[in-house]
Amino acid sequence: MGRAIAISRGRPPLVQIHYRTHDGRSGAFEAKVGQSLMAAAKSANVPGIIAECGGSMVCGTCHVFIDETWFAKLPTAEPMETDLIDYGLYPRPTSRLSCQITVTEAMDGLLLEIPPSQH
């Protein structure tokens, strides 16, 4: 998969995040360590990440499916996050709200899938 890239002294390193859409498109984007996965995806115009609430965890429109291998490596979701996921469309065991995931260097190469719809 990807590899961490140190930009320059004093700046957060970048990691590569891979994605697939429900209709079979795929791509990748760079995310800064320390930013939310949602913010990185929005900056890269990843299709299907709406994030209406801007990361306040009230909209659920930043929902993603994390690849099973990677899901187990992420910090566990808080109960409020899982409640919001369960309330939304297409919940799966590997569902997460991307606004609640802080990018770390260990996430280099992470694979996620975009749900068919956020509404």
Positions in the binding site for ligand FES (CB under 6 A) = 38, 51-53, 55, 57-62, 97, 99
Q: Which is nearer to ligand FES, 57 or 77 (CB)?
A: 57
Q: How far is the CB of 24 from ligand FES (least distance, A)?
A: 25
Residues 6+ apart with CB under 8 A from 64: 19, 37, 41, 49, 95, 96, 97, 98, 112, 113, 114, 115
The residue nearest ligand FES at its CB is 99
Q: Which is nearer to ligand FES, 52 or 105 (CB)?
A: 52
Q: Which is nearer to ligand FES, 33 or 51 (CB)?
A: 51
R_g (Cα) of the chain, nearest Å:
13
